[in-house]
Amino acid sequence: MNMHAQPQRTLAETALIDAFGERLSQLPGDGAVMVKRDDAIEAIKHGLPTRRVESWHYTDLRRLLTNVPAFEADAVAKALAPVLEGSAVLPVLNGVSQTKLPEIDGVTVQRLSEKLTDGSVAPGLDTYGDDDAIGALNTAFVADGYFVDIADATELEKPIELQNLQAGGQSHVRLLARVGAGAKAVIVERQTGEGDEALISSVSQLVVGDGAQVTWLIVQEQPDTATHLAQFKAHIGKDGKLTLFVMNAGGKLVRQEVVVRTTGEGADFKLRGINLLAGDTHTDTTMVLDHAVPHTTSTEVIRNVVTGKARGVFQGRINVHQYAQKTNAKMACNTLLLSDDGEFSTKPELEIFADDVVCGHGATVTEIDHNHLFYLMARGIDEKSARGLLVKAFVAEVIEELDDEALVEALEERLDGWFSTHG
Amino acid sequence: MPAVQETIDRVRKIDVDQYKYGFQTEIEMDKAPKGLSEDIIRFISAKKDEPDWMLEWRLGAYRRWLTLEEPTWARVHYPKIDFQDIYYYAAPKSTPGPKSLSDVDPELLKVYEKLGIPLKEQEILAGVQKPAAADGEAEIGDNVYKSGRVAVDAVFDSVSVVTTFKEELAKAGVIFCSISEAIREHPELVKKYLGSVVPTSDNFYATLNSAVFTDGSFVFVPKGVRCPMELSTYFRINEKNTGQFERTLIIAEEGAYVSYLEGCTAPQRDENQLHAAVVELIALDDAEIKYSTVQNWYPGDAEGKGGIYNFVTKRGDCRGDRSKISWTQVETGSAITWKYPSCILRGDDSSGEFYSIAVSNGYQQVDSGTKMIHLGKNTSSRIISKGIAAGFSQNTYRGQVSAHRKATNARNFTNCDSLLIGDQCGAHTVPYMEAKNATAKFEHEATTSKISEDQKFYVMQRGIPEEEAIALIVNGFVKDVIQQLPMEFAVEAQKLIGISLEGSVG
């Protein structure tokens, strides 16, 4: 209980601090960037967050992060066929962006290493709080990624797929995007890899301009050797609309943070998430949503399926600021717990400082409804298939809501893929 | 609903931020020197004529406390408490311990009369209407108690001054006395159960309480006995700069039943006072304990000056199979509330309930909720929490529901709703749900809103003025919880809510 004593550094903490010393000379960045990197590593020197840090209550990073693999310069990763057919693919392979990139009308793409070198992204490297361990880790080590700028009033015909792929080792990537006023875009963030143990930190930052409409899909299918620490941060301008879809279907230790702020009246945010958890893994989805201005709306629906010895976490906090009157925010988190060794913890929070609001959240944890099972089995479907049908229907419901046939089909295909290996 | 009209009338009669129990009584007090040390603990223990093991228990807790840090995770803010600037023991001089009523200082009796707490058994039995106290201040109490018989343990600052109906309860085998008396008279029971639910090392304030608790109530209901009347403790802080540290221990043996009420008030003062209590409930096989609180400590004035810091640890242990513990609380007072009445559902088929209304106004800060820990098989729990925030107050629900590996078929339903009145207050919900068993079934729902214009329009359109309309809707909002209170208390609670919201409604 005595918090005065500075605990001894864990192996992982020491490895990170040592790695910083070794990597520093190779990391791109001007003076301003380097100052941010120093601040960030200082934060890590104070120790990784433990369960005593409220936002890390269910993911004791200090205890769970047991091993930090070294950087592997010669690991090979290859770009993959995109999730959505016809997408323009921007791959980051083993933490390195590519020079040969597709031309897209109305879109400017820059390598992030260049923007680090000229210091233009320095202000965005700040962490957002004392407990922002992922932000700190990424700021300290980030070497590359992309900056995608979609001009005002551009309606993208084809989706853009940002691929972050590695084959073991460490990589720290940032994906920045600005969607101009009145523009429309579908962006896929693909997080996957293969091979040996890996530590990945990935931070995505999105600015949704006034009246812009963005659908952003995070498809995380890391191998079960990977530690995946990711953050998605977005600002939504006046009358802007953001639909964020998160699919977690892999990884050994995963934390996906979603930090969203409505900055203009009429902004709307939708979060839809499915967590498919199997094996001896730990997956944490943590959302902090700030309704900072009046007349903004949000809905969040998270569905979880827990099998094997998997541990799942969903934390969702909705902050309604004092002047954010007429906020309408609803959040639901439903979990199917399918094995006795699995566990799921959820903490849906509401912090409300304005009075003229309608906010609510619901959370359930349960097993498969026996009545539903009976209904199907009474129609001659064997138990295993009936269970499979029900579980799939439970998560597919969230996908079907996306209202875009190509998206729905592509995601259902990923879903089928997961069920065929884990079903 | 006639009670609604009553609420409104009451609200009308009272000025903003007028706390009706704010009077102070001049009574000669016997106090320990200010501050906390092993000597003070020895002093308290000696005053209470306690056996050595009790002193050792206290000292152990004190040494543990020295190593602990004040918790800071709750959403409450207050200047650091100087634990050396508090009197840990203050007792009315004339009553060194509980005695018969005739020995009690008449001044003290007047206090309780003024508060509307009946200590004279004959009067209650005969149903005699007491003469109305000055300004009609005792009205509420009269309403509460004249309808039924309630045994009362009256705790004044650090000591229990009197316990009523002891003989009659003894006939049924029920022990109801102050905890100090229980330590002397029934050491075997106290030794067996004290600290078995809230260990001395539990948390900062519980550990402090273990070291310095001065009095409180002890209830023991033996096997198969249904306690013949409601039991009640009435806590009063009177003396300046004192902390009240009471300890309550309730044990219901196999098949026993007891319903217990707790009420609290304090004088109106500019400085803050500390109240750190520990309540332990133990229910064995098939036993049921119903614990109700109407907490009305002085909440501070309209500017947020003064008021009680209410840092309380309450926990019930459903130790036996098929046992049941039910917490009901109406929280309207205190400058700061930090309180989480919890249930450990250890026995198979045991069940826990938590019904709460927390009303905050002015600059009050409430961080309250519950914990339902499912350990046994087929356990169930139910949480209904209604928070109403007005003025500049902050009202937080914080609750945890967990099912452990072996808790097959654990079942929980949680509903927490918040109502905001005004745009300077905050309402927050922080539920934790942890399921480690596939057969667990947890449901949680929470809403936050202001009184809907549609509802208000509907009522007003029927010719009811706005203020009454709001009172009606608020009463409807809290109805689920009010219904859980013993009938005598339900009326009082309903009125209290009306009073607490005065100045913000309308």
- Chain segment B44-97, per-residue pLDDT in tens: 888 888 899 999 999 999 999 999 988 888 888 888 888 888 888 887 765 444
Structural contact between residues A352 and B418, judged by C-beta atoms closer than 8 angstroms: yes
Taking the C-alpha atoms of residue A34 and residue A45, their distance in angstroms, rounded to an integer, is 16
Q: Do A350 and B429 touch (CB under 8 A)?
A: yes
pLDDT tens, residue by residue, A223-274: 999 999 999 999 999 999 999 999 999 999 999 999 999 999 999 999 999 9
Work out the average pLDDT over B393-405.
Answer: 93
Q: Do A359 and B426 touch (CB under 8 A)?
A: no
Q: Do A337 and B422 touch (CB under 8 A)?
A: no
pLDDT for B11 beyond 50? no
Q: Does A343 reach chain B within 8 Å, measured CB to CB?
A: yes
pTM as predicted: 0.85
User: ipTM of this predicted complex?
Assistant: 0.85
Structure confidence at residue B302 (pLDDT)? 76
Q: Does A361 reach chain B within 8 Å, measured CB to CB?
A: yes
Best interface-test mutation with A: which of B67, B205, B417, B436 has the largest number of A CBs within 10 A? B436
Taking the C-alpha atoms of residue B187 and residue B220, their distance in angstroms, rounded to an integer, is 12
Q: Do A337 and B440 touch (CB under 8 A)?
A: yes
Q: Does A345 reach chain B within 8 Å, measured CB to CB?
A: yes
Structure confidence at residue B261 (pLDDT)? 86
Q: What are phi and psi for residue A159, nearest 5 degrees?
A: -70, 160
Q: Do B428 and A352 touch (CB under 8 A)?
A: yes
Taking the C-alpha atoms of residue A231 and residue A233, their distance in angstroms, rounded to an integer, is 6
pLDDT tens, residue by residue, B367-380: 999 999 999 999 99
Environment class of residue A254 by beta-carbon count within 10 Å: exposed (0-12), middle (13-18) or buried (19+)?
buried
Q: A-chain residues within 8 Å CB-CB of B429? A: 348-350, 361
Among all residues of chain B, which has the CA nearest to that of A357?
B449
Taking the C-alpha atoms of residue A49 and residue A344, their distance in angstroms, rounded to an integer, is 20
Q: A-chain residues within 8 Å CB-CB of B436? A: 343
Mean per-residue pLDDT of chain B = 81
Å from B410 to nearest chain A CA?
10
pLDDT band at B116 (very low <50, low <70, confident <90, very high): low
Q: Does A366 reach chain B within 8 Å, measured CB to CB?
A: yes
Structure confidence at residue B472 (pLDDT)? 81
Strand, helix or coil for residue A56: helix
pLDDT tens, residue by residue, B136-191: 333 333 333 333 566 777 777 766 767 777 888 888 899 988 888 899 999 999 99
Structure confidence at residue B34 (pLDDT)? 83
Among all residues of chain B, which has the CA nearest to that of A316?
B430
Work out the average pLDDT over B384-403.
Answer: 91
- Among residues B469, B470, B488, B490, which one has the least CA distance to residue B479? B490
Q: Does A359 reach chain B within 8 Å, measured CB to CB?
A: yes
Structure confidence at residue B354 (pLDDT)? 94
- A&B contacts, CB < 8 Å: 115
Structural contact between residues B209 and B339, judged by C-beta atoms closer than 8 angstroms: no
Among all residues of chain A, which has the CA nearest to that of B448?
A359
Q: Does B109 reach chain A within 8 Å, measured CB to CB?
A: no
pLDDT for B23 beyond 80? no
Environment class of residue A404 by beta-carbon count within 10 Å: exposed (0-12), middle (13-18) or buried (19+)?
middle
Q: Do B446 and A356 touch (CB under 8 A)?
A: no
Q: Does A367 reach chain B within 8 Å, measured CB to CB?
A: yes
Q: Do B438 and A367 touch (CB under 8 A)?
A: yes
Q: A-chain residues within 8 Å CB-CB of B372? A: none
Å from B446 to nearest chain A CA?
5
Taking the C-alpha atoms of residue B93 and residue A29, their distance in angstroms, rounded to an integer, is 75
Mean per-residue pLDDT of chain A = 92
DSSP string, A269-329: EEEEEEEEE-SS-EEEEEEEEEE-SSS-EEEEEEEEEE-TT-EEEEEEEEEE-TT-TT-EE
Q: Which of A1, A342, A363 sits opposite B68 (nearest CB)?
A: A1
pLDDT for B2 beyond 90? no
Structure confidence at residue B201 (pLDDT)? 87
A67: tokens are 């091993």
Taking the C-alpha atoms of residue A222 and residue A281, their distance in angstroms, rounded to an integer, is 12
Q: Do A361 and B446 touch (CB under 8 A)?
A: yes
Å from B438 to nearest chain A CA?
5
Work out the average pLDDT over A201-214.
Answer: 97
Work out the average pLDDT over A161-171.
Answer: 92
Structural contact between residues A312 and A344, judged by C-beta atoms closer than 8 angstroms: yes
Strand, helix or coil for residue A196: coil
pLDDT for B10 beyond 60? no
B362: left (phi over 0), alpha (psi -120 to 50) or beta: left
pLDDT for B100 beyond 80? no
Q: A-chain residues within 8 Å CB-CB of B438? A: 337-340, 342, 367
Work out the average pLDDT over A364-374.
Answer: 91
- Among residues A418, A410, A396, A416, which one has the least CA distance to residue A186? A410
Q: Do B431 and A348 touch (CB under 8 A)?
A: yes
Beta strands, E only, B305-421 = 307-318, 324-331, 336-339, 342-345, 351-360, 365-368, 371-374, 380-390, 394-403, 411-421
pLDDT for B498 beyond 80? no
- Among residues B288, B371, B378, B274, which one has the least CA distance to residue B324? B288
Q: A-chain residues within 8 Å CB-CB of B426? A: 351-353
Q: Does A405 reach chain B within 8 Å, measured CB to CB?
A: no
Q: Please give the span between the terminal C-alpha atoms of chain A, in angstroms, as a whole number.
A: 43
Best interface-test mutation with B: which of A338, A355, A356, A391 has the largest number of B CBs within 10 A? A355
Structure confidence at residue A229 (pLDDT)? 97
Q: Which of residues 175-234 of B touch A (CB under 8 A)?
A: none
Q: Does A368 reach chain B within 8 Å, measured CB to CB?
A: no
Bigger pLDDT: B331 vs B302: B331
Among all residues of chain B, which has the CA nearest to that of A353?
B426
Taking the C-alpha atoms of residue B475 and residue A76, their distance in angstroms, rounded to an integer, is 67
Taking the C-alpha atoms of residue A362 and residue A352, their distance in angstroms, rounded to an integer, is 16
Taking the C-alpha atoms of residue A400 and residue A410, their distance in angstroms, rounded to an integer, is 11
Å from A324 to nearest chain B CA?
10
Work out the average pLDDT over A3-7.
Answer: 52
Structure confidence at residue B4 (pLDDT)? 44
Q: Do A349 and B440 touch (CB under 8 A)?
A: no
Best interface-test mutation with A: which of B204, B371, B444, B452 has the largest number of A CBs within 10 A? B444
Taking the C-alpha atoms of residue A273 and residue A218, their distance in angstroms, rounded to an integer, is 9
For residue B34, give the DSSP letter.
Answer: B
pLDDT tens, residue by residue, A104-130: 999 999 999 999 999 999 999 998 888
Residue A224: count of CB within 10 angstroms of its CB: 12
Taking the C-alpha atoms of residue A47 and residue A6, their distance in angstroms, rounded to an integer, is 9
Environment class of residue B46 by beta-carbon count within 10 Å: exposed (0-12), middle (13-18) or buried (19+)?
exposed
- For A22, B79, B93, B298, B304, the CA distances from B17, given in Å and listed in that order, are 64, 23, 33, 10, 10
Cα B70 to chain centroid, rounded: 22
For residue B239, give the DSSP letter.
Answer: S
Q: Do A1 and B429 touch (CB under 8 A)?
A: no
Taking the C-alpha atoms of residue A171 and residue A23, their distance in angstroms, rounded to an integer, is 12
Best interface-test mutation with A: which of B65, B416, B433 has the largest number of A CBs within 10 A? B433
pLDDT > 70 fraction of chain B, expressed in percent and rounded? 81
- For A225, A403, A422, the CA distances from A416, given in Å and listed in that order, are 22, 19, 10
Most confident option among B117-131, B444-458, B465-479 = B444-458
- Among residues B131, B100, B126, which one has the least CA distance to residue B116? B131
Taking the C-alpha atoms of residue B337 and residue B297, their distance in angstroms, rounded to an integer, is 10
Q: Does A349 reach chain B within 8 Å, measured CB to CB?
A: yes
Structural contact between residues A94 and A77, judged by C-beta atoms closer than 8 angstroms: yes
Please state the domain extents for chain A: 11-367, 371-423
Q: Which of A325, A353, A364 sits opposite B426 (nearest CB)?
A: A353
Å from A359 to nearest chain B CA?
5
pLDDT for B18 beyond 80? no
pLDDT tens, residue by residue, B341-374: 999 999 999 999 999 988 888 889 999 999 999 9
Strand, helix or coil for residue B499: helix
Best interface-test mutation with B: which of A53, A318, A353 has the largest number of B CBs within 10 A? A353
Lowest mean pLDDT among A321-330, A367-376, A383-392, B472-481: B472-481
